[in-house]
Structure 1
Amino acid sequence: MCTWYLETKDAKPVQNVAIPLSYSERDPIPGGCNLEFDLDIDPNIYLDYNFFETTIKFAPANLGYARGAEPPPCDVGTGQESRWRLQYDVYQYFLPEGDLTEASLLQHLQRMAQVPQVKASAVKVVTLTADDKTTVSFSSLLGQGVIYNVIVRDPSLNTSAAYVPVHTYACSFESVDGNCISPGRVSTKVFFTLLALLGLFICFFGHRFWKTELFFIGFIFLGFFFYILITRLTPLEYDVRLVLTAVAGSVGGIFLVASWWRFGTLMLCMLCVGLVLGFLVSSGTFFTPLGNLKVFHDDGVYWVSFSCIALLIPVIFMGCLRILNILACGVVGSYSVVLAVDSYVSTSLSYITLNVLRRALNTGFRGAFIRVPFQTNDFLVLAVWGMLAVSGITLQIRRERGQPPFPPHPYKLWKQERERRVTNILDPSHHIPPLRERLYGRFTQIKELFQKEQPAGERTPLLL
């Protein structure tokens, strides 16, 4: 007979659940070869998380043995008769979206306690052997409840046992700003709401308002790299970095518009447009299970592959620049709405680009497994994104039918207009006074408004 005691330091009632598990002498013992943690036999999974990744650690298991017998040695040999034949299956289970209650957590923890339930409910992410480190990293999902568990298998005896499940929401319930209930910061909401308003305009009218689109593209292009730079090189607070990113992005947008106005370099502008669209396509490619392949855990392979996919988009559409521009307006502009929605209601689609940003900011993120849940909110946001993109692309293609592919060079038009005014004396604009005289005349008119009006009539005295 065993008696368990539970103690809590909190004065309030605490909910708990106890699940007794029985094992035979053939089953492996989770944590039986613990050399790192406090307990002699430690079947617990230890979890640590930050903004970038969630890491779980566990002690290696040992072979099963009869009650009262000596346990098999852990590090005497590495043959098939030792613990080195054991394999570890790591499972991940997502809690329902938006459900942060303790009752729901305890209910779902019961599904992750026993081996048959774990295999039926959760998704196996990776299988580790005794040669691998007993450490696995996942991308952190802010505000999303996740339960992890490990099943250790003995292939020779065809037996298995489960560790103690562990859970996380990757956020703090006590934080004032950016907590689990309201994950988005106020500064994030303001930034992405303004970006979404501009992106929504670009989605439907970007090709016609060419300079506005160039500002939008330049803002994204320079703002993204500037945020990575100041985050890696400076210890500034998040809100300060976001403000500086907005300023730098605005400078990038103005620079791209100015380069088009002065030099009319269409290919340079379209290269930037194509790279932004290619960045989103490449991010979506690595958002799929393809990004979890072990070969892409190497930074060199990952970034070369990522860059090649991003460059492939402008190369493919180099012969039809107008179609490339309209596609970029529809897809990128509508995705900015997705980012704005994520700052208010959590959605997994924001991790398409956020995971790339994490990879650029944190070198440890390269080994993290990227898995996100697709639940009700995600399907609704995906439908809105697709509807906006298709509507914007269709509308712009129909409206621009029969129109010139791109507007003419602004500086060339301005120069031709100036020469026309100089050479054509019959043009009324030719007789416009110089700017200095016009300003002086306007100043004189304003000055007359404040002068006292002289009364009418003769004021000169008559001489007799």
Structure 2
Amino acid sequence: MPLKRECLVLLVLSWVSSMRAQDENRVMFSLGTFQNVSVPVNGTIQAVVSRIPADVSFLTLQFHTHHRNVTLSYTPIPLYGFSVTAADAGLLSNLTPSQTIVSWFLKTPDGSSAAGIGVILPYTSTDPVPGACNQESPLEIDPNIYLQYNLFETTITFAPANIGYGRGVIPPACDVDVGSSTRWRLMYEVYQYFLPEGDMSEQSLISSLERVANVQNVQDNSRKVVSLTSHDRTQFSFSSLPGQGVIFSVIVRDPVLNTSASYIPVHTYACIFNSTLDRCSDLGRVSTKVFFTVIGLAGLFVCFVGHRFFKCELFCMGFGFMAFVFFVVITITTPLDYNIRLALTALMGVVGGVVMVMSWWRFGSVMACVLVVGLILGFLISSIIFFTPLGDLPVFHNDVAFWVVFACIMVFVPLFFIRWPREGNIITCGVVGGYTVVLAVNAYTYTSLSYITLDVLKRLLNHNFSRAFISVPLQDIDFIMITVWVVLGVSGIVVQLYREKSRQFFPPSPYVMWKQERERRKTNVLDPSHHKPSLSARILGRIRQLTQRTEPAGETTPLLL
């Protein structure tokens, strides 16, 4: 294997000498300094670094573009096993004892132009070698992080590292021994860096990548998600955040030598820039905006006067309860288009609202309806609890543990309503009504607060989502929306408590009132309405008058005197 590497280095050096006259396609790098690079149409850029210090054992070159794939290779013509193609591409080069110059080659796979930034980082013989124990990808040493995403989760994978070694030294074996003198002593740390919300510009990405390029910058600016040993799987899942830029970084540490190295950072927006459907610039569907705008207006009404207009509140709560359940069921069981599912969800939500109102109208059981309202508040409170870092605890990556605790919290909240039904109902109006306004705003501009309930929905729809880390960033827009939510909720609760303090707890059921009035009329003989025929008797009498002919009552001619 070292002979293969030396032959490769000689090939690269020969190409360097042949390209000296083509300075326009050569970019000179300095170690640790970012360099802007533009790849011309059907062109190849040679990235060169020289004057490499003698204590440097290996180098990593990383090149990043906004969304276009580029091919980074050891050779002028990309070869299988000697190149990598990605929007975040990187290569690692081991150095020979006397080597002071290294070059790589950069081009686009389709011959189009591309622009991005690159940086070359040096490492010594004591630093661990990222991806040196690779057994998956074609590269012999693969320092890249591979990323895949779908609507529910984003998954990253990377190859195990090896302990450091000097120039010209045969690399230590990866899987011969598991002792403390082998690569099994290495530790890994996975980091997450969130770009500014709603900002998918290239300038924002470049400035963010510069903040997470090396080990020290990653530690200072990123959030550590998890630490693991060499015996753990090198694959992790995170909740997908369409439209939200995220940079994932991995640091490998050698606890014996107290050294570290970084893999090539990788970024994603969980959407496609050059797609004709579901582009990053067109994440908000018109149907979604219409649906949640109506929901937000209804929630604002419920927030301030929901208890006063009890039937309207029951309709809105029944709508939300049935719509959520039906959307989960129809998504799991059918492959229908999103817009069709949303329309059917709205229709079934209306049915659920009508059923809720009619059940109260017919049976008059306020407590049963209020308990359903309490379950909705319990669902939201439980979702908020698991939206915090508590939801990323390893124990809650188990579905059984998660759903048992979630259900217990959800069921516990309605118990409060048994003792204080009116106050509980008003609190639900304020909290849930305020959150629907947040969801309505999210239909037009991104806010992380929508993932309070969306993460629970994802977990219901995707069985593999339980393994995903669900942390999301809280940035300026989120703190603004939290303030709006709190102000709306507190204002709605205070206003309704003040207005309803002198009123009866709940309005009576119209059907129950009608039955009571009918019984009163039957028993109260002094009531004039007691002697009045019932409505059905009056209708039947009128029908008989219209359909039956009146019989003559004897002689009708005048008497002759």
Q: TM-score, normalised by structure 1?
A: 0.91
User: Structure 1's 310 and 174: CA in aligned 2 closer, same or farther, altered over 3 A?
Assistant: same
Q: CA deviation at 1:390?
A: 0.8
Decide which of 94, 99, 105 is 2:194's aligned counterpart.
94
Alignment-mate amino acid for residue 299 of structure 1 = D
User: Structure 1's 248 and 65: CA in aligned 2 closer, same or farther, altered over 3 A?
Assistant: same
User: Structure 1's 74 and 439: CA in aligned 2 closer, same or farther, altered over 3 A?
Assistant: farther
SS in 1 for 2:409: helix
Equivalent residue for 1:370? 470
Decide which of 217, 220, 229 is 2:317's aligned counterpart.
217
SS in 2 for 1:89: strand
Tell me if 1:234 matches 2:334.
Answer: yes
CA RMSD of aligned residues (A): 2.2
Decide which of 241, 244, 250 is 2:344's aligned counterpart.
244
Tell me if 1:256 matches 2:256.
Answer: no
Equivalent residue for 1:291? 391
Alignment-mate amino acid for residue 103 of structure 1 = Q
Q: CA deviation at 1:415?
A: 1.7
Q: Is the 8 A contact 2:198 2:445 kept in 1?
A: no
Cα deviation 1:49-81 (Å, max 9, x = unaligned): 111111100000011111111111111111111
Q: Is the 8 A contact 1:19 1:110 kept in 2?
A: no
Tell me if 1:279 matches 2:384.
Answer: no
- Structure 1 distance, partners of 2:251, 2:235, is 14
User: Structure 1's 177 and 205: CA in aligned 2 closer, same or farther, altered over 3 A?
Assistant: farther
Equivalent residue for 1:340? 440
Q: Is the 8 A contact 2:251 2:260 kept in 1?
A: yes
- Structure 2 distance, partners of 1:96, 1:130, is 33
How many aligned residue pairs are there?
442
- Structure 1 distance, partners of 2:296, 2:465, is 28
Q: Is the 8 A contact 2:370 2:417 kept in 1?
A: no
Equivalent residue for 2:256? 156
SS in 1 for 2:236: strand
Tell me if 1:426 matches 2:528.
Answer: yes
User: Structure 1's 428 and 187: CA in aligned 2 closer, same or farther, altered over 3 A?
Assistant: farther
Alignment-mate amino acid for residue 232 of structure 1 = I
Q: CA deviation at 1:38?
A: 1.5
Q: CA deviation at 1:105?
A: 1.2
- Structure 2 distance, partners of 1:156, 1:424, is 100
Tell me if 1:125 matches 2:125.
Answer: no
Query: Once structures 1 and 2 are overlaid, which stretch shifts more, 262-271 or 172-181?
Result: 172-181
Q: How high is the sequence identity, in percent, across the aligned residues?
A: 56
SS in 2 for 1:19: strand
Tell me if 1:405 matches 2:505.
Answer: yes
User: What pairs up with 1:371-386 in 2 under 5 angstroms?
Assistant: 371-386=471-486
Q: CA deviation at 1:418?
A: 3.8
User: Structure 1's 429 and 375: CA in aligned 2 closer, same or farther, altered over 3 A?
Assistant: farther
Tell me if 1:165 matches 2:260.
Answer: no
Query: Once structures 1 and 2 are overlaid, which stretch shifts more, 170-179 or 349-358?
Result: 170-179
Q: CA deviation at 1:429?
A: 11
Tell me if 1:329 matches 2:419.
Answer: no
User: Structure 1's 87 and 192: CA in aligned 2 closer, same or farther, altered over 3 A?
Assistant: same
- Structure 1 distance, partners of 2:157, 2:228, is 12
Q: Is the 8 A contact 2:131 2:159 kept in 1?
A: yes
Cα deviation 1:325-367 (Å, max 9, x = unaligned): 0000000011111111111100000000000000111011101
Equivalent residue for 1:18? 118
Q: Is the 8 A contact 2:371 2:417 kept in 1?
A: no
Equivalent residue for 1:205? 305
- Structure 2 distance, partners of 1:438, 1:63, is 100
Q: Is the 8 A contact 2:417 2:425 kept in 1?
A: no
**Structure with greater strand share of residues:** 2
User: Structure 1's 424 and 379: CA in aligned 2 closer, same or farther, altered over 3 A?
Assistant: farther
Q: Is the 8 A contact 1:183 1:346 kept in 2?
A: no
User: Structure 1's 16 and 438: CA in aligned 2 closer, same or farther, altered over 3 A?
Assistant: farther
Query: Once structures 1 and 2 are overlaid, which stretch shifts more, 407-416 or 113-122?
Result: 407-416
Q: CA deviation at 1:109?
A: 1.0
User: Structure 1's 177 and 415: CA in aligned 2 closer, same or farther, altered over 3 A?
Assistant: farther
**Structure with greater helix share of residues:** 1
User: Structure 1's 439 and 243: CA in aligned 2 closer, same or farther, altered over 3 A?
Assistant: farther
Q: Is the 8 A contact 2:384 2:452 kept in 1?
A: yes
Q: Which runs of 5+ in 2 are unaligned?
A: 1-100, 546-561
Equivalent residue for 1:458? none
Cα deviation 1:84-142 (Å, max 9, x = unaligned): 11111001001112222223212211221111111111111101111111001111111
Q: Is the 8 A contact 1:425 1:431 kept in 2?
A: no
Q: Is the 8 A contact 2:191 2:223 kept in 1?
A: yes
Query: Once structures 1 and 2 are overlaid, which stretch shifts more, 16-25 or 291-300?
Result: 16-25
Tell me if 1:64 matches 2:171.
Answer: no
User: Structure 1's 10 and 352: CA in aligned 2 closer, same or farther, altered over 3 A?
Assistant: same
Tell me if 1:106 matches 2:106.
Answer: no
Equivalent residue for 2:140? 40
- Structure 2 distance, partners of 1:390, 1:396, is 10
Q: Is the 8 A contact 1:278 1:314 kept in 2?
A: yes
Query: Once structures 1 and 2 are overlaid, which stretch shifts more, 47-56 or 403-412?
Result: 403-412
SS in 1 for 2:106: coil
Alignment-mate amino acid for residue 528 of structure 2 = L
- Greater relative contact order (CA < 8 Å, ≥ 6 in sequence): 1
Query: Once structures 1 and 2 are overlaid, which stretch shifts more, 410-419 or 190-199?
Result: 410-419
SS in 1 for 2:260: strand
Query: Once structures 1 and 2 are overlaid, which stretch shifts more, 202-211 or 424-433?
Result: 424-433
Q: Which has the larger radius of gyration?
A: 2
- Structure 2 distance, partners of 1:185, 1:340, is 13
- Structure 1 distance, partners of 2:405, 2:517, is 48
User: Structure 1's 435 and 42: CA in aligned 2 closer, same or farther, altered over 3 A?
Assistant: farther
User: What pairs up with 1:421-460 in 2 under 5 angstroms?
Assistant: 426-427=528-529, 430=532, 434-435=538-539
Q: Is the 8 A contact 1:182 1:344 kept in 2?
A: no
Cα deviation 1:393-414 (Å, max 9, x = unaligned): 0000000012111111321111
Alignment-mate amino acid for residue 426 of structure 1 = P
Query: Once structures 1 and 2 are overlaid, which stretch shifts more, 9-18 or 326-335?
Result: 9-18
User: Structure 1's 128 and 198: CA in aligned 2 closer, same or farther, altered over 3 A?
Assistant: same
Q: Is the 8 A contact 1:15 1:102 kept in 2?
A: no
User: Structure 1's 252 and 439: CA in aligned 2 closer, same or farther, altered over 3 A?
Assistant: farther
SS in 1 for 2:126: coil
Query: Once structures 1 and 2 are overlaid, which stretch shifts more, 396-405 or 14-23?
Result: 14-23
Q: Is the 8 A contact 1:93 1:121 kept in 2?
A: yes
